[in-house]
Copies of this chain bind each other. A is one copy, B any other.
Amino acid sequence: MNYDDILALDEKDPLKHCKDLFQERPGFVHLDANSLGSMPKSVPAHLAQVLQHEWADERSASWAAANWMARPMQIGAAISRLIGAAPEDTLAYDNTTLNLFKLLTDALKLNPGRNVVLSEKTTFPTNLHVAQGLENAHSDQLIVVYADPEKDILDAITEDVAVVYLSQVDYRSGRRFNIAEINAKARSVGALTLWDLSHSAGAIPLDMEGTQTDFAVGCGYKYLCGGPGGPAWLYVNKKHQNKIWPEISGWMSHADIFSFSEQFEPAEGVLRHMTGTPQVIANEIFWCAAEIWNTVEPEQVWAKHRSLSETLVTLIKEQCGDLGVQLASPENYDERGGHVCIRVPGEGNKVVEALMEKNITSSFRYPDAMRFGLSPLYHSHADMWEAAQRLRTVVQEQAVPA
């Protein structure tokens, strides 16, 4: 590919206007959408207004007069389009760890008589830790079993499995599990599924309803651009809603919040997974990104991400292959998640640092994963070109002994 090819791809990109909606730093290319997505340009002004008007001036009256109580469902609705779910089944609340805890306890209650939580060790640590914490506290109720990564995971989904509990995308290699296939196997043996889509949502095609996913969660501040430490999201298939009380019941999970009832009565649907007070300010930040997501078609998002990912892989091979740089993610886009992972000669973390000096942000995960997280909203094909060009320079420089 030459630079004219790149410019042609950008020219015909239906999402090319989105780049200008984000606060980008001139000359920099931040390829860390898998870690922390960019800030929508609308955030500072919106937040200044929320702080002054809703907090300082209107104060506690804002609980009723502003959008403070409605935002978790409004943001959930924006995310629902990207995961193939109905708006009312998706909620933005708390963090990913907490949402995993809520839905794993739900799933175990909905599959009584089984106690195996099936995971595997490329699943992100926090997911494993949530299950291990429950195993430690309730060893009579669950045991965590780790599938052998060398074998087909489908073979490990057997009739003793209560919940298949996986991150779709390996946070190091970027390998993507096939949700439809795994869900089908799980259904055939009566197991439920709980997916972590932190490295998927806002990048690759997802279809909660079509794949009959039971439960899912995801991070809000990576591809979704919800802001650092902002709320995560959760999805519950309608057929599981309203059957059981949430493990964590609280004021905001109540059917009638402002009745101040002494007796808990769970709200309908995903609302029962609200716990305490919503993260008002963080939600207002996320809302700025949600407004952008609401203006784009999911199919355009997914096509753009595929195009960026395939372009970057091609350029790295063409421009850096002779220097020993190798693709560490699967060759086939349909087997890759939101990021592209490569291996470089020498020490990967030093290449990441040197590339940072050249204003390209990537990230490193031990032992040898160098990752580029690609945003269908704010990255261009020209950004992929810049990354490959500067990577070539850095790898060449690193190869020369100091």
Contacts and interface: CB of A to CB of B under 8 A. Distances in A.
A98 B98 contact: yes
A178 interface: no
Contacts of A219: 277
Nearest to A247: B137
Interface residues of A, number: 83
A52 interface: yes
A229 B125 contact: no
Interface in A251-265: 251-254, 260-264
Contact of A282 (B39, B44, B281): B281
Interface in A207-262: 219, 221, 227-230, 232, 245-254, 260-262
Interface string A89-124: 000001111101100010001000000000001001
B132 A263 contact: yes
Given A101-B248, A109-B137, A228-B68, A126 B276 contact: yes
A355 to B, nearest CB: 12
Interface string A9-39: 0000000000000011100001010011011
Contact of A125 (B23, B51, B56, B254): B254
B366 A137 contact: no
Contact of A248 (B97, B229, B251): B97
A187 interface: no
A294 interface: no
How many copies are assembled?
Answer: 2
Interface stretch (A59-67, A73-81, A320-328, A340-348): A59-67
A402 interface: no
Interface string A270-298: 00000111111111010000000000000
A208 B238 CA distance: 45
A250 B60 contact: no
A55 interface: yes
Given A36-B55, A130-B250, A137-B245, 19 more contacts: A23-B56, A30-B59, A30-B60, A36-B59, A38-B59, A44-B52, A55-B228, A68-B229, A105-B137, A124-B251, A126-B252, A132-B263, A133-B264, A136-B245, A219-B277, A221-B277, A228-B280, A230-B280, A260-B365
19 contacts: A24-B56, A35-B59, A48-B48, A55-B227, A61-B356, A95-B275, A97-B250, A97-B252, A97-B275, A97-B276, A98-B248, A121-B262, A124-B251, A125-B254, A126-B252, A133-B248, A221-B277, A228-B280, A229-B279
